[in-house]
Amino acid sequence: MGSISEFEQVPALTSIERIGSKGYVCCIFPFQLDDNYDIDEVSRMLRAAYAATQRRIPAIAYEAVPDVDTKQTGVLKLQRLEDGSIEDIVIQDCTLGDGTSYFTWMKVWAKECRAQGLSIPEPVELPPAVVRDQERVMRSSGRNPGLLENHPEYTLLPFTPSSATPKMMAQSHSAQVFYFSPESLQELKAEASPVHASVPSDQKWISTNDALSALLWRTVMKVQWPLETLEGDPPSVFNIAIDGRLRTEPPVHSDTLGCVLEYVAVSAPIRKIVGSTNIADLAILIRKAILKADKQFTDDLVALIEKLEDVDRLVPTAFLDVPGFNCVQTSWINFKLYSLDWGSLLGYKIDAVRSPHVGIIHGLQVVLPAPPDGGVEILVGVEESCLDKLLQDPLWMKYAVPR
């Protein structure tokens, strides 16, 4: 099988990984096992295959810990896990990887589950570029100024936070999966078209993702902040995760390992969001923000990070008030878990991609991997007291089906 085992020395974390969320992503992947399954045999197979995966991708045998030897405060380094815990890949330190990397890890793990020392057709080939191209985002090119004012998606705090905000740590959060059929997505995109904007715009086209994001932002804000409960008109900030690999020049390999997760940000007065059913205005804002993330975007962000005295002070702006007036969205739509064959002991396929009942991160909305039957699944997270309102919101339920 193809391997990158020649890269035994795990590289230092990139600048983007240094400012990444220092936490763990917990996913649930249900399998339908045979009636006469042997749990000990299944466990042995998973652990043996995971050990083989670690040998092929050394980074997943490590965890991120504070690096006390650097001048820049808050920097992490990689340290080898003592026991090689299998949970590390299921409850994964998101400093080390994003959805693109997760899929590569899982693809290799699934193949190792099938192989168990045997030769199998179409082995996973990992080209050396997926590791070597990490060097291309390790430091800035010098072409871009790296100015904070050009990155509203981040806020530089005047202090070093000791943990996530109390809201993000609270237990009063619930998540629900919703399904959007291909037909409902077409109807949604038509409703969010710029032709329906309340103010004429030079932006004449939006994507289906823009329309979905606009509906999501509007709905989460509306169910959490009914107009009659608002005091004043505070802004709502919406951070949307993007793939930094696609915003490099020269381009890096599309499957470059590590976490190259970046954000764009849009904002609007909360009353404008919750007081209208017009999502075209929001979709236009989102499309314009994404267009600004050009081929220099990643390099400019790296230049900004290099100037920081303490990387822990640079945080995604929306994270300052979630769940609250702000909202965050990420997408695993290209995390093609349903395509993987895990072998007969695991029933071959993953049945679904789910999360604990509290969601992934408080205030985070996740576009889940594309389901086998087409369409889109979204994991929506809101304050626990707002879940019923979400299930009864007319505009949301016009397109979404609970699962």
Interval 281-302: pLDDT, tens: 999 999 999 999 999 999 999 9
- The answer on pLDDT for 215 being more than 80 is yes
At 302-332, the pLDDT tens digits run 999 999 999 999 999 999 999 999 999 999 9
> How many domains does one find in the chain?
1
In a domain, residue 147? The reply is: yes
Candidate from 83-97, 352-366, 389-403 with smallest mean pLDDT: 83-97
In a domain, residue 2? The reply is: no
DSSP-derived pairing of the beta strands 173-180 and 376-383: antiparallel
- Which pLDDT value is given to residue 303? 98
Q: How far apart are CA 144 and CA 301, in angstroms?
A: 9
Q: How far apart are CA 27 and CA 397, in angstroms?
A: 26
Mean pLDDT across 179-200: 97
In a domain, residue 192? The reply is: yes
Residues paired with 354 in a beta bridge? 28
- Which pLDDT value is given to residue 1? 40
Task: List the CATH number of the domain containing 107.
Answer: 3.30.559.10
**How many residues appear in the chain?**
403
Q: Residue 369: give the domain boundaries.
A: 8-402
- The answer on pLDDT for 403 being more than 90 is yes
pLDDT band at 118 (very low <50, low <70, confident <90, very high): low
- Which pLDDT value is given to residue 6? 43
Mean pLDDT across 54-60: 83
Average pLDDT value for the chain: 89
CA atoms in the 13 A half-sphere facing the CB of 203? 24
In a domain, residue 263? The reply is: yes
- Which pLDDT value is given to residue 92? 55
In a domain, residue 143? The reply is: yes
Q: Give the burial string for 233-262 (b: 16+ CB within 10 Å, else e).
A: eeebbbbbbbbbbebbeeebbebbbbbbbb
Question: From the CB of residue 226, how many other CB atoms can be counted at a distance below 10 Å?
Answer: 12
At 62-89, the pLDDT tens digits run 766 667 667 666 555 666 666 545 554 4
- The answer on pLDDT for 378 being more than 50 is yes
- The answer on pLDDT for 49 being more than 60 is yes
User: What's the predicted TM-score (pTM) here?
Assistant: 0.91
Cβ–Cβ under 8 Å, residues 108 and 126: yes
In a domain, residue 1? The reply is: no
Cβ–Cβ under 8 Å, residues 109 and 49: yes
In a domain, residue 268? The reply is: yes
In a domain, residue 376? The reply is: yes
Closest CA to 140 of 299, 298, 268, 259: 299
Cβ–Cβ under 8 Å, residues 201 and 288: no
Sign of the dihedral through C-alpha 228, 231, 234, 237: negative
Q: How far apart are CA 56 and CA 43, in angstroms?
A: 20
